Amino acid sequence: MTFLSPDRLWLLALAPILAGLYIVLQMRRRNYAVRFTNLALLSQVAPKRPGWRRHVAAALFLIMIVLMMIGFARPASSVKIPRDRATIMVAVDVSLSMMAQDVPPNRMEAAKTAAKKFIRELPSRFNVGVVSFAGNANLIAAPSADRDTAIASLDQLSLAKRTAIGEAVFTSLQAIRTFDTQAAHDPPPAHIVLLSDGDNTTGRSVQEAVDASRAAHVPVSTIAFGTPYGTVDIEGETTSVSVNKEALKTLATSTQGKAYEAADAGQLREVYANIGSSLGFKTEHRDVAARYTGIALLFALAAGGASLVWFSRLP
């Protein structure tokens, strides 16, 4: 899409004025010719008229003027520029409820497999970090372009009691704010992908996480691993651990992220498809006046060439 400077657009109004002036002059010439009542005499004193060719140079010249006016109006085109500092934080729930086998082989292994695949398929321009959370949240791989470190950190995960979703978001935001030396005053464009069965039981609330994410302009997309029928055996006792989809959906939709229900690892492909275009690129307006000026010069050469060939003079 091309944008023009509004304070210079008024120049384009001159184009129809010039076209109208040319038409008026042609009509005046025609009216002057009618004054010769003796057509035989007129054919002798007036050379053969060039017909349509006499208008070609004028039309080309007028197009050149219009293009020069557009160039003077400082046209700018929208261009997508890759964001080299773009960062994705992957937060993985390691609470005991992730042992449930309603998502084969179990929620935990399904989430790890999905996260690994997601990280491997991220374009190289993205930085990626990993956070694990249960009763508290820990940064286990600082955001960087090193995919191997991020994937290896997932193999070191171990289960623990309770679920601190809010803390996972706050830890991810902290990692983003300390990404590099300029992140404190110019944080990188970022997105958090949180994989959990969705029941916040300790630490700061989901609403506090929402407020912090919105203040930082960092969306949170969530993947809900589990079904309403999940159970786990804890100290010999079978406990129901149904997935809390509503908590995850609230977190995602309130931060302009996306909420997904994952019965398998394939859902993460869709997460990246939704965040890749907005996070991976930024839109800039670049001056393209030279483009119009160059085309205008071509029309000027065409007008001059046509006039020289047909009339042996410049327009």
| Secondary structure letter of residue 135 according to DSSP | S
Looking at residue 49, what is its pLDDT? Answer: 54
100, two tokens: 């449930």
pLDDT at residue 14, as a whole number: 63
CA–CA separation, 75 vs 290, rounded Å? 9
pLDDT, one tens digit for every residue, the chain (315 residues): 555 555 555 566 666 766 666 666 666 665 555 555 555 554 555 555 555 566 676 777 778 777 777 777 777 776 655 556 789 999 999 999 999 998 889 999 988 988 898 888 888 888 999 999 999 999 999 999 999 999 999 999 999 999 999 999 999 999 999 998 888 888 888 999 999 998 899 999 999 999 999 999 999 999 998 888 889 987 788 888 988 999 999 999 999 998 888 754 455 566 666 665 556 555 666 777 778 788 877 877 777 776 666 665 555
Beta bridge partners of 194: 91, 222
Adjacent-strand bridge partners of 284 = 79
If we measure between CA atoms, which residue out of 190, 301, 196, 199 comes closest to residue 259?
196
Instruction: Residue 88: name the closest of 211, 209, 215, 194 by CA.
Output: 194
C-alpha of 202 from chain center: 36
Domains, the chain, in order of start with CATH, read: 2-78+286-311 (no CATH), 84-279 (3.40.50.410)
* Predicted pLDDT at 199: 87
DSSP-assigned letter for residue 161: S
Output the pLDDT for position 308: 63
Q: Residue 138 has what pLDDT?
A: 97
Report pLDDT for 312.
Answer: 59
Compute the distance between CA of residue 123 and CA of residue 169 in angstroms, rounded to an integer: 23
For residues 315 and 252, what is the distance between their CA atoms, to the nearest angstrom? 65
- Round to whole Å and give the CA distance between 11 and 123: 45
Q: Are 179 and 186 a contacting pair, CB within 8 Å?
A: no
pLDDT at 20: 67
- The pTM for the full model equals 0.65
Q: What are phi and psi of 7, to 5 degrees?
A: -75, -5
What's the DSSP call for residue 48?
A: P
What count of other Cβ atoms lies within 10 Å of the Cβ of residue 297? 13
Task: Look at residue 134 in the predicted model and tell me its pLDDT.
Answer: 96
